[in-house]
């Protein structure tokens, strides 16, 4: 749920009897004074998001920069591009929610799903001109993911679970699963190999193999294994395909690529670079607050205190929680 510039995040789904001991703790995503961070409910520590951290230390991707510039020109302004990107993010969130509900309920009623998709995407701000197409695409994408679940006999452990790297990075893992190593089809169950994996869902139809996307998987795996003292090795990107007759998807296994191209060492190097540059440090920005009364002719600084970023953020979180409690008591 959101309110202003604070969003309280918790796992969308955790399996009733997970084979991995998961606490499912909450994290606040807070945006104040143009600064966006995660703040962990458990210890109040401030974290940079994984994508923000990577974008701060990696060389700029010329292709992506050119794409952003072209899209901004096509849409009319950088602000309209940001608005469009928010809609894309909302679409991705809808897909995650649909997957979580499917896992929780154990089924999907397609009539109910269509009604839900219309309501959700309407609430996200999609207009009549694009709403029909978006609902149709969301339905197809969701069906593609369910086809993957069927083909690989997937058992979902968690959906959108917050995880942390102690150096100061936080993110959400889209899917933690147990699955067949391959699409075995006619192979008897007793001859199939089962694996645990981290899967990142991509809503684009072209799949994902950019270096930053692979490093994102490395970071998600690192954070999950550190948070829950695990040793998951396998990492995949899963994206829907533009199918016409039968649900399909694109599953890309990046596990060997991560090892062969030494992406873990590269990620660790970026972590060290971020520490050196202060990227992962708590923001040094302070926030003024006045208390009491200043009489005419008195020095106003006598009533002034400066709060750190974390102190200010914690105050906003406290206000946010109080308002949530108040709202929940209204009948």
Contact status, residue 106 vs residue 156, Cβ threshold 8 Å: no
Same domain, 26 and 76: yes
Which pair of structure tokens corresponds to residue 225? 């294994």
137 in a structural domain: yes
Orientation angle between helical segments 50-57 and 211-228, nearest 10 degrees = 130
Average pLDDT across the chain, whole number: 85
The domain boundary, picked from 235, 258, 277, lies at 277
Same domain, 160 and 17: yes
Higher local confidence (pLDDT), 62 or 234: 234
- Structure confidence by residue, pLDDT tens digits, 27-51: 999 887 667 789 998 888 899 999 8
Same domain, 248 and 303: no
Tell me the average pLDDT across 48-67.
73
Same domain, 229 and 324: no
Same domain, 319 and 172: no
Same domain, 171 and 311: no
Same domain, 173 and 220: yes
Q: What is the pTM of this model?
A: 0.84
Long-range contact set of residues 96-99: C-beta below 8 Å, sequence gap at least 24: 96/12, 96/159, 96/160, 96/174, 96/201, 97/12, 98/138, 98/142, 99/12, 99/13, 99/142, 99/145, 99/156, 99/159, 99/175, 99/201
181 in a structural domain: yes
78 in a structural domain: yes
- Structure confidence by residue, pLDDT tens digits, 196-230: 999 999 876 554 557 888 999 999 999 999 999 99
Bridge partners of 305, per DSSP, are 289
Tell me the average pLDDT across 145-152.
96
Same domain, 173 and 267: yes
Collapse the DSSP code of 157 into the 3-class scheme (helix H, G, I; strand E, B; otherwise coil) and give the result: strand
Give the pLDDT score at 71.
46
Torsion over CA: 38, 40, 44, 47 (sign):
negative
Give the pLDDT score at 20.
79
Task: Give the total number of structural domains in the chain.
Answer: 2
91 in a structural domain: yes
Same domain, 120 and 210: yes
Same domain, 267 and 323: no
Bridge partners of 14, per DSSP, are 158
Q: Helix (H) and strand (E) counts for the chain?
A: 9, 13
- Whether the predicted pLDDT of 67 surpasses 60: no
9 in a structural domain: yes
CA-closest candidate to residue 59, choices 223, 273, 217, 220: 273
Same domain, 22 and 75: yes
Domain residue limits at 306: 287-328
Give the pLDDT score at 27.
92
97 in a structural domain: yes
- Structure confidence by residue, pLDDT tens digits, 150-171: 999 999 999 999 999 999 999 9
Same domain, 192 and 125: yes
282 in a structural domain: no
- Whether the predicted pLDDT of 111 surpasses 50: yes
- Structure confidence by residue, pLDDT tens digits, 256-294: 999 999 999 999 999 999 999 888 888 888 899 999 999
Give the pLDDT score at 85.
46
pLDDT band at 233 (very low <50, low <70, confident <90, very high): very high
Give the pLDDT score at 26.
87
90 in a structural domain: yes
Distance (Å, whole) CA 32 – CA 35: 5
The domain boundary, picked from 237, 253, 277, lies at 277
Distance (Å, whole) CA 264 – CA 287: 38
């Amino acid at each position: 749920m959101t309110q202003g510039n604070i969003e309280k995040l918790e796992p969308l789904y955790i399996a009733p009897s997970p084979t991995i001991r998961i606490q499912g703790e909450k994290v606040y995503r807070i945006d104040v004074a143009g600064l966006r961070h995660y703040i962990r409910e458990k210890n109040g520590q401030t974290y940079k998001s994984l994508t923000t951290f990577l974008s701060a230390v990696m060389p700029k991707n010329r292709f992506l920069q050119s794409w952003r510039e072209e899209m901004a020109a096509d849409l009319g302004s950088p602000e309209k591009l940001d608005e469009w990107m928010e809609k894309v993010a909302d679409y991705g969130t809808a897909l995650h929610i649909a997957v979580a509900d499917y896992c929780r309920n154990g089924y999907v009623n397609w009539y109910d799903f269509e009604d839900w998709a219309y309501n959700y995407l309407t609430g996200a701000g999609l207009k009549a001109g694009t709403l029909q197409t978006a609902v149709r695409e969301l339905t197809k994408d969701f069906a593609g993911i369910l086809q993957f679940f069927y083909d690989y006999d997937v058992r979902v452990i968690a959906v959108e679970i917050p995880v942390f790297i102690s150096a100061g990075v936080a993110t959400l893992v889209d899917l933690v699963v147990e699955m067949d190593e391959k699409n075995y089809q006619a192979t008897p169950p007793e001859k199939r190999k089962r694996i645990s994996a981290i899967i990142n869902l991509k809503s684009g139809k072209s799949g994902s193999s950019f270096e930053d996307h692979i490093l994102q998987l490395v970071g998600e795996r690192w954070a999950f294994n550190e948070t829950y003292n695990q040793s998951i090795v396998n990492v995949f990107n899963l994206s829907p395909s533009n199918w016409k007759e039968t649900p399909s998807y694109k599953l890309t296994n990046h596990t060997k690529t991560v090892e062969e191209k030494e992406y873990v060492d590269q990620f660790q190097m970026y972590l060290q670079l971020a520490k050196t540059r202060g990227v992962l440090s708590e923001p040094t920005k302070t926030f003024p607050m006045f208390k009491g009364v200043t009489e005419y002719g008195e020095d106003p600084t006598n009533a002034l205190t400066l709060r750190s970023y974390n102190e200010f953020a914690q105050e906003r979180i406290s206000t946010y929680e109080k308002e949530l409690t108040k709202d929940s008591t209204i009948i």
